Amino acid sequence: MSGLAARVRGELNAARKAQAKDRVLLLGTVLSEIKNREIELKRDLTDEDVVEVIRKAIKRRRESVELYEQAGRQELAAVERAEAQALEVWLPAAPSDAEVRAAVKEAIAGGASAIGAVMGKVMPRFKGRLDGSVINRIAREELGTTP
């Protein structure tokens, strides 16, 4: 088990002792997703793999927030938003926009002129540390300003 997964498990045990039912449910769900990913890959997960699982869990919750808000279910949206924020604690620090912008400019200077080419060059550098939508937004801004 990766160090990050072990920390999540320790946090789950602490939540059980404190009888924090919402936190127990959230962490138990995430650990289940981590275990499923481990079974899928047929190997022990690295911390990067665990971060990927957590990112997907956060993304699902953010999508749920949007759907609940569209349906007028603010109380359910608030629960999903709180869960996403609780999971963000487990993610590594995200790079700054300036750092991403520099990488995008470097990719454009290297000959990438289409959004797909820029994303292909920049995404591996920030894998597991940043959501692709942020890179996409910055790449579109930079491509729009370049001749």
pLDDT in tens, 82-123: 999 999 888 887 788 888 888 888 888 888 778 888 888 888
> Is this prediction's pTM over 0.85?
no
The CATH number, out of the four listed (1.10.1510.10, 1.10.10.10, 1.10.1760.20, 1.10.240.10), of the domain defined by the range 3-88: 1.10.1510.10
Spell out the per-residue pLDDT of the chain, length 147, in tens: 678 899 999 999 999 999 999 999 999 999 999 999 999 999 999 988 898 899 899 999 999 999 999 999 999 999 999 999 999 888 887 788 888 888 888 888 888 778 888 888 888 888 767 778 888 888 888 887 544
CA pair distance 116, 107, nearest whole angstrom: 11
C-alpha closest to that of 63 among 80, 75, 79, 78: 80
Rounded alpha-carbon distances, angstroms, from residue 64 to 59, 73, 75, 83, 100? 9, 11, 12, 11, 27
The ranges assigned to domains in the chain are: 3-88, 97-145
CATH architecture of 97-145: Orthogonal Bundle (1.10)
